[in-house]
Amino acid sequence: MLRYTVNRVLLMIPTLLGVAVLVFFLLRVVPGDIVEIKLRGDGGSVTQETIDMERKRLGLDRPLLTQFGGWMVGMATLDFGNSMWTERPVVTEIAGRLELSLQVAIMATVVAVLLAIPMGTMAALFRDSWIDYTVRILTIGGLSIPSFWFGMLIMLTLLALFNWLPPITFTPIYVDPIANLTQLIWPALAVGYRYCAVVARMIRSSLLEVMNEDYIRTARAKGVYERLVIARHALRNALLPAITVIGLEFTFLIGGLVVTEQVFNLNGIGQLFVQSVSRNDFTLIQGMVMLIAAFYVFVNLAIDLLYAVFDPRIRYNA
Amino acid sequence: MTFVSPSLPAAKPRQPNVYVDFCRQQPLGAVSFVIIVLMMFAGIFSPLVAPYDPLEIDFASLLAAPSADHWCGTDAYGRDICSRLIYGSRTALVIGFTSSFVGSTLGAILGIASAYFGGRIDDWIQRFVDILLAFPLIVLALVVVAAFRKFTVGGVDVNLIVAIAIPILPRVARVVRSAALSVRVMPYVDAARAVGYSHTRIIFRHMAPNVVAPYLIMLTAFIAQAILAEASLSFLGLGVTEPTAAWGLMLSGNAADFYRQAPWMILFPGIAISLAVFAFNLFGDSLRDFLDPRFKV
């Protein structure tokens, strides 16, 4: 187990390195950089000299490999550089937005899991009944309705019923919990529907599989109440695959809220991403891609290790 | 010796018909297939089906409510929303099909090759797949679209297709690889190698036909995802651009300013996206149950 863990952690390095190479060169193949957008953006005429000076100041005139090396060395010492646009450290820029994105992601997870467990369980227990069909249509609906449009519908309803529009500024939860929750519950619901659908489908199919296992028959044969059989024996095992999709969807939400944030006027990681891409803010884009990739890799590892913790039958051999 | 009673007509063996079986076993799948066919019909014959020209600006009827003249109302330029939806199905289908096909096919080839060669090559391909997977979907699309700007062939955004196809590739590669691993150990693959066939021939002639089921299932499922991705990217202003009729685009820009005055501007394009994606998802789902009940995506 220890060997396996060490091995997996070591395997993260080439993956993250690959992501770094990919994003770094992808951004630089394209002609045009931040300097032009910054100085020529509003159509003002700027001499080539000024542009060259600004490039030099930002280090964009150095050879690509030197730039890449510099960035790598920086990251190894946990220095992600400064945003080329605001000049503030990338870490500060991201931290400010991460709070909001994380909170929405967590709230969406809570909503999704709370709804998905009963939905998935009922669908599996009453397979091919009207309950199963309803859940199936509801969950495929969740996979099909774009969450940004669902968000728009929520807004439309709130506007029509309560004349409520999302506030322009974000209130952190420790400042005013009620204002914070009323602001974030709607985007959380909008993305939570899809999330819930994914999890419920997974619970349904894995529960159906588990119900055929010998230990379920044994439990029933020895006279355990059906309710206990399901809660203790079946659901416990069926939830394992669900953990995987919960983890993956959660990482997706950290960077994937882009469109929903736009709809609800939220200044999260997604918006920051769109802004920095349109500004060609290389350092900031790189920092965010690395953050999201690292998050993904760690969550994946955590899931695999959790499997072994929850299911003693699973043993990893390095 | 066989003996057949002459007085009784031989029981007519039921002709196995895949389509009939599919409709019987998967009624929901059949319904979704009908929706897909209708959508394709609307997309191919848009000029004949659409009541108006989707680009025709009519200042006499700005933001008109749904009526007998304009079934789904008109937008801020007086363009008929129903006609734009019909033309939009063309955009959605072309981009959805192409990007899912490109992504799934390349992914499948990569997955089979990975399973077939094994060892070091397998390790390298899996690392590559890991890298692509760690790159967040929408982020990858944002970077690709922003990086390659506008590049169209025959009116279709190639960069948009690439942006949507890339994230599909590693996901299909993973699933197809695991399916191909079990094909890899089949005696006929060993036999083909013993005969001395080339790697390419074995991969395409012997392995590929045996992983068609997961490939087809993933392909349909990803058409749904691709349509959704196209809508999201167009909504963000990174996909199809005005004045082309595209569903995601119809929801973006000033559509949100008319929440109160013209909710139909938001309602109908969203319904179109949802219905299309719903149909492909449901069809993919039924196809999976039909072809391989044990297969899970």
Question: What per-residue confidence (pLDDT) applies to B22?
Answer: 79
Return the bridge partners of B153, or none.
B156
Inter-chain touch B273–A149, beta carbons under 8 Å: yes
Å between B215 CA and nearest CA of chain A: 20
pLDDT at B278: 92
Instruction: Tell me the pLDDT tens digit for each residue of B127-148.
Output: 899 888 888 666 677 777 766 6
Q: Which of B48, B47, B170 shows the shortest CA–CA distance to B107?
A: B170
CB neighbourhood size of B106 (10 A) = 17
Q: Which of B25, B12, B6 is nearest to B288 (CA)?
A: B25
What local confidence, expressed as pLDDT, does residue A236 receive?
Answer: 83
Lowest pLDDT segment from A140-154, A156-170, B89-103: A156-170
Enter the tokens of residue A34: 């931040």
In chain B, pLDDT over 70 holds for what percent of residues?
86
pLDDT tier, B185 (very low <50, low <70, confident <90, very high otherwise):
confident
- Average pLDDT of A18-36? 80
Q: Which of A22, A144, A274 sits opposite B142 (nearest CB)?
A: A274
Backbone phi, psi, residue B152, to 5°: -120, 145
Determine the residue among A24, A27, A28, A149 to mutate to test chain B binding: the one whose Cβ has the most chain B Cβ atoms within 10 Å: A149
Question: Which residues in A lie closer than 8 A to residue B137 (C-beta atoms)?
Answer: 252, 256
| B80 SS3 class | strand
B99 pLDDT above the threshold of 90: yes
Q: What is the mean pLDDT of residues A272-290?
A: 85
Tokens coding B35: 């929706």
Q: Is the model's pLDDT at B196 over the cut of 50? A: yes
Confidence (pLDDT) at B2: 55
**pLDDT score at A318:** 44
For an interface test with A, which of B137, B139, B278, B294 has the most A Cβ atoms less than 10 Å from its Cβ?
Answer: B139
- What is A230-274 written as a DSSP string? IIIIIHHHHHHHHHHHHHHHHHHHHHHTHHHHHHHT--SHHHHHH
A146 φ/ψ sector (left φ>0, alpha ψ -120 to 50, else beta): beta
With 80 as the cut, is the pLDDT of residue A32 above it?
no
Q: What is the pLDDT of residues A121-152, one digit of tens each?
A: 999 988 888 998 899 889 988 989 988 899 88
Query: Which residue of chain A is at minimal alpha-carbon distance from B263?
Result: A156
CB B103 within 8 Å of CB B172? yes
Average pLDDT for residues A56-69, to the nearest whole number? 80
* Residue B153: pLDDT band with limits 50, 70, 90: low
pLDDT in tens, A69-125: 888 888 888 788 888 777 788 888 888 888 888 899 999 999 999 999 999 999 998
- The per-residue pLDDT for B296 is 47
- A189 versus A318: the higher-pLDDT residue is A189
Question: For residue A137, which residues of chain B lie inside 8 Å, CB to CB?
Answer: 28
**What is the nearest CA distance from A92 to chain B, expressed in angstroms?**
20
pLDDT of residue B42: 86
CB B58 within 8 A of CB B69: no
| Mean per-residue pLDDT of chain B | 82
Q: Is the pLDDT of residue B297 over 50?
A: no
The predicted pLDDT at position B1 comes to: 45
Model confidence band, residue B98 (pLDDT cutoffs 50, 70, 90): very high
Mean pLDDT for all residues in chain A: 84
> Does residue B7 carry a pLDDT above 80?
no
d(CA A24, CA A56): 18
Cis bond leading into B170, ω under 30°? no
Contact indicator for A258, A274 with CB cutoff of 8 Å: yes
